[in-house]
Amino acid sequence: MGHKYKDKYVSLKDIYNKIKSSFYKKVDYKLYYKIITKYLEILLRDAVDRNHKVALPDKMGFISLEQKIQTRAFHYRVDNSATKEKGETVFYKVPIFDDYYKKLVWRRPRKYKRCKLMPLRYTKRIINNN
Protein backbone atom coordinates (compact mmCIF):
# COMPACT_ATOMS: atom_id res chain seq x y z
CA MET A 1 0.00 0.00 0.00
CA GLY A 2 1.25 3.50 -0.76
CA HIS A 3 2.03 6.16 1.82
CA LYS A 4 -1.11 8.05 0.88
CA TYR A 5 -3.39 5.24 2.13
CA LYS A 6 -1.24 4.05 5.05
CA ASP A 7 -3.62 5.11 7.85
CA LYS A 8 -6.83 4.89 5.84
CA TYR A 9 -7.17 1.10 5.46
CA VAL A 10 -6.59 -1.90 7.71
CA SER A 11 -4.88 -4.90 6.14
CA LEU A 12 -5.99 -8.47 6.64
CA LYS A 13 -2.64 -9.24 8.27
CA ASP A 14 -3.30 -6.58 10.94
CA ILE A 15 -6.76 -8.02 11.63
CA TYR A 16 -5.28 -11.51 11.92
CA ASN A 17 -2.59 -10.34 14.37
CA LYS A 18 -5.23 -8.74 16.64
CA ILE A 19 -7.66 -11.68 16.75
CA LYS A 20 -5.39 -14.75 16.53
CA SER A 21 -5.28 -15.07 20.31
CA SER A 22 -9.07 -15.54 20.41
CA PHE A 23 -9.07 -18.66 18.18
CA TYR A 24 -9.88 -22.02 19.81
CA LYS A 25 -7.21 -23.81 17.78
CA LYS A 26 -3.97 -22.51 16.39
CA VAL A 27 -4.63 -21.14 12.88
CA ASP A 28 -1.80 -19.87 10.73
CA TYR A 29 -2.19 -16.83 8.50
CA LYS A 30 -2.24 -18.86 5.28
CA LEU A 31 -5.32 -20.85 6.41
CA TYR A 32 -6.99 -17.71 7.78
CA TYR A 33 -6.50 -15.96 4.43
CA LYS A 34 -8.04 -18.91 2.55
CA ILE A 35 -11.06 -18.97 4.87
CA ILE A 36 -11.71 -15.22 4.53
CA THR A 37 -11.21 -15.31 0.75
CA LYS A 38 -13.62 -18.22 0.30
CA TYR A 39 -16.22 -16.56 2.55
CA LEU A 40 -16.05 -13.34 0.53
CA GLU A 41 -16.33 -15.25 -2.76
CA ILE A 42 -19.50 -16.98 -1.52
CA LEU A 43 -20.90 -13.69 -0.20
CA LEU A 44 -20.27 -11.87 -3.48
CA ARG A 45 -21.63 -14.78 -5.53
CA ASP A 46 -24.89 -14.67 -3.56
CA ALA A 47 -25.15 -10.88 -3.76
CA VAL A 48 -24.14 -10.40 -7.40
CA ASP A 49 -24.88 -13.62 -9.33
CA ARG A 50 -27.99 -14.71 -7.46
CA ASN A 51 -29.17 -11.17 -6.68
CA HIS A 52 -29.81 -11.96 -2.99
CA LYS A 53 -29.76 -9.60 -0.05
CA VAL A 54 -26.92 -11.07 2.04
CA ALA A 55 -26.81 -10.51 5.81
CA LEU A 56 -23.37 -9.97 7.33
CA PRO A 57 -22.38 -11.52 10.67
CA ASP A 58 -22.38 -9.67 13.99
CA LYS A 59 -25.19 -7.27 12.96
CA MET A 60 -23.01 -5.50 10.40
CA GLY A 61 -25.86 -4.94 7.95
CA PHE A 62 -26.70 -6.25 4.46
CA ILE A 63 -24.99 -6.33 1.07
CA SER A 64 -27.01 -6.31 -2.14
CA LEU A 65 -26.76 -5.39 -5.80
CA GLU A 66 -28.91 -2.40 -6.69
CA GLN A 67 -29.87 -1.03 -10.07
CA LYS A 68 -29.74 2.77 -10.22
CA ILE A 69 -30.83 5.28 -12.84
CA GLN A 70 -28.06 6.85 -14.89
CA THR A 71 -28.26 10.62 -14.30
CA ARG A 72 -25.36 11.81 -16.45
CA ALA A 73 -25.68 11.98 -20.22
CA PHE A 74 -21.93 11.91 -20.98
CA HIS A 75 -18.60 10.52 -19.81
CA TYR A 76 -15.74 13.00 -20.04
CA ARG A 77 -12.53 11.60 -21.55
CA VAL A 78 -9.11 13.17 -22.11
CA ASP A 79 -8.08 13.76 -25.73
CA ASN A 80 -4.39 12.87 -25.56
CA SER A 81 -3.35 14.15 -29.01
CA ALA A 82 -5.05 17.54 -28.52
CA THR A 83 -3.60 17.77 -25.01
CA LYS A 84 -0.06 17.30 -26.35
CA GLU A 85 -0.60 19.96 -29.04
CA LYS A 86 -2.11 22.64 -26.76
CA GLY A 87 -0.08 21.87 -23.65
CA GLU A 88 -3.20 21.81 -21.43
CA THR A 89 -5.77 19.11 -20.76
CA VAL A 90 -8.49 18.84 -23.43
CA PHE A 91 -11.67 16.85 -22.75
CA TYR A 92 -14.28 15.40 -25.09
CA LYS A 93 -17.73 13.94 -24.39
CA VAL A 94 -18.77 10.32 -24.90
CA PRO A 95 -22.52 9.60 -24.66
CA ILE A 96 -23.80 7.06 -22.13
CA PHE A 97 -26.32 4.75 -23.77
CA ASP A 98 -27.35 2.72 -20.71
CA ASP A 99 -30.34 3.96 -18.72
CA TYR A 100 -29.33 2.03 -15.59
CA TYR A 101 -26.16 0.92 -13.86
CA LYS A 102 -25.58 -1.67 -11.14
CA LYS A 103 -23.86 -0.98 -7.85
CA LEU A 104 -22.88 -3.16 -4.91
CA VAL A 105 -24.39 -1.50 -1.81
CA TRP A 106 -23.71 -2.10 1.89
CA ARG A 107 -26.61 -1.05 4.15
CA ARG A 108 -24.88 -0.74 7.51
CA PRO A 109 -25.56 0.51 11.04
CA ARG A 110 -24.40 3.97 12.02
CA LYS A 111 -21.34 2.69 13.91
CA TYR A 112 -19.87 1.41 10.62
CA LYS A 113 -20.53 4.61 8.67
CA ARG A 114 -16.81 5.27 8.08
CA CYS A 115 -16.28 1.78 6.63
CA LYS A 116 -16.39 1.40 2.87
CA LEU A 117 -17.18 -1.44 0.50
CA MET A 118 -14.51 -1.70 -2.17
CA PRO A 119 -15.57 -4.02 -5.00
CA LEU A 120 -12.44 -5.29 -6.69
CA ARG A 121 -11.74 -6.73 -10.10
CA TYR A 122 -13.59 -10.03 -9.43
CA THR A 123 -16.83 -8.29 -8.45
CA LYS A 124 -16.69 -5.66 -11.19
CA ARG A 125 -16.25 -8.36 -13.83
CA ILE A 126 -19.34 -10.24 -12.60
CA ILE A 127 -21.44 -7.06 -12.37
CA ASN A 128 -20.51 -5.98 -15.91
CA ASN A 129 -21.33 -9.44 -17.32
CA ASN A 130 -24.86 -9.46 -15.79
Please report, for the chain, the start and end positions of each structural domain, with discontinuous segments joined by +. 8-129
- The reported pLDDT for the residue numbered 7 is 65
Query: How would DSSP label each residue in the chain?
Result: --GGGTTT---HHHHHHHHGGG-SS---HHHHHHHHHHHHHHHHIIIIIS---EEPSTT--EEEEEEEE---SEEEEE-HHHHHHHSS--EEEEE---SEEEEEEEE--GGGTT------HHHHHHHHH-
Judged against a pLDDT cut of 60, whether residue 1 lies above it is answered with no
Per-residue model confidence as pLDDT tens digits over 12-69: 888 899 988 888 989 999 999 999 888 888 888 888 888 889 898 888 889 888 888 8
Judged against a pLDDT cut of 70, whether residue 118 lies above it is answered with no
pTM, entire model:
0.61
- The reported pLDDT for the residue numbered 8 is 67
- Superfamily of domain 8-129 in CATH is IHF-like DNA-binding proteins (4.10.520.10)
- The reported pLDDT for the residue numbered 30 is 93
